[in-house]
Amino acid sequence: MRPLLFTLFLLHSCLREGNSNLPEDLTLLKTDFALRLYQSVAEDRNGTNVVISPARVTIPLEMLEFGAQGNTGWQLAESPGYTTQDQTVRQFLHAINAKLPNSRQGTKMELACTLFVQAGMSLSPCFLEQVSWWGNCSLEPANLSEPNSTTVQTEDWASRQSAGKRKIVHLDEDMSGEGPGGWTWDRGGAAFAQLVLVGTMSFQSAWWQRFSSTDTQLLPFTCAQGFVLQVPVKYQMAEVSYGQYQEPVGHQTEALALAYLGSAESTPGAAS
């Protein structure tokens, strides 16, 4: 089966509200960042499948920018293409994030961030106030110099909704995605870490145009070993937004917007 890299990113319809060009500009910048993130990941994922969420990258970047200065602050602002140091942008994005926990028209979206701070480290009161105000973030003290004895607890919203459980992440686990933890924690760098930001985002909805069980058919999928499996697949015909572009290196990329129930979100997917 052809390798697939699928990029999930949520575009909020409320970004298009208002009389100025700010909502439209931020929508374009976030879309551009998602595509650049996809291209960066695709370079290192030769022949493998992966799902990424740019929203889980941009929100921590926005948060960390509150405490960054000089070249670090410039680099954090350059990645997404906008800066939370701009009061208009900051207030606008905060209003968007504040709407995330709301459920509407069968759509559920939740965001949570936890900033773990090395015990004894002093932080600016202004930074603490801004961080706690952003992205449903909470602050927790931690002994980051001893990953073997430190346990980071972060809400796994999807699991909580289905089973009411909390996800436990141990800092000494293999966090590269290859081990049980699914994360990366560098033991050598742990002794120098002062801040660890953990963010989670969940999204649950239904297709705008639902699939019918009567439209299921068996389709052949060729495995890496060469044998063919017959897999039951539901299908439908629908109007969707589609586009394609060619990267400077000549790699062809196709983009498809999958419409979900409710007009507030859409989930474009980029496939190679």
pLDDT for residue 228 is more than 80: yes
- Give kind and range of the element (H or E) at residue 215: none
Using pLDDT thresholds of 50, 70 and 90, give the confidence band for residue 248. low
Kindly state whether residues 153 and 252 are assigned to the same domain: no
Residues 5-15: tens digit of each pLDDT? 444 555 444 44
Q: Is residue 157 a part of any domain in this protein? A: yes
What is the pLDDT at residue 224?
A: 78
Q: Is residue 160 a part of any domain in this protein? A: yes
Last residue of a domain, one of 204, 223, 242: 204
Mean pLDDT of 79-93: 87
Q: Is residue 5 a part of any domain in this protein? A: no
User: Quick one: tokens of 270?
Assistant: 């980029």
Kindly state whether residues 250 and 152 are assigned to the same domain: no
pLDDT for residue 68 is more than 50: yes
What pTM was computed for the model? Answer: 0.63
Domain count, the chain: 2
Domain that holds residue 250: 213-271
Distances (CA, A) of 231 to 49, 156, 207, 223: 18, 30, 21, 12
Rounded to whole angstroms, the Cα distance separating 147 from 165 reads 23
Average pLDDT across the chain, whole number: 70
Kindly state whether residues 233 and 179 are assigned to the same domain: no
In a 13 Å sphere around the CA of 116, the CA atoms on its Cβ side amount to: 18
Last residue of a domain, one of 161, 178, 204: 204
Kindly state whether residues 150 and 31 are assigned to the same domain: yes
pLDDT for residue 171 is more than 60: no
Share of the chain above pLDDT 90, in %: 1
Last residue of a domain, one of 183, 204, 225: 204
CATH of the domain at 243: 2.30.39.10
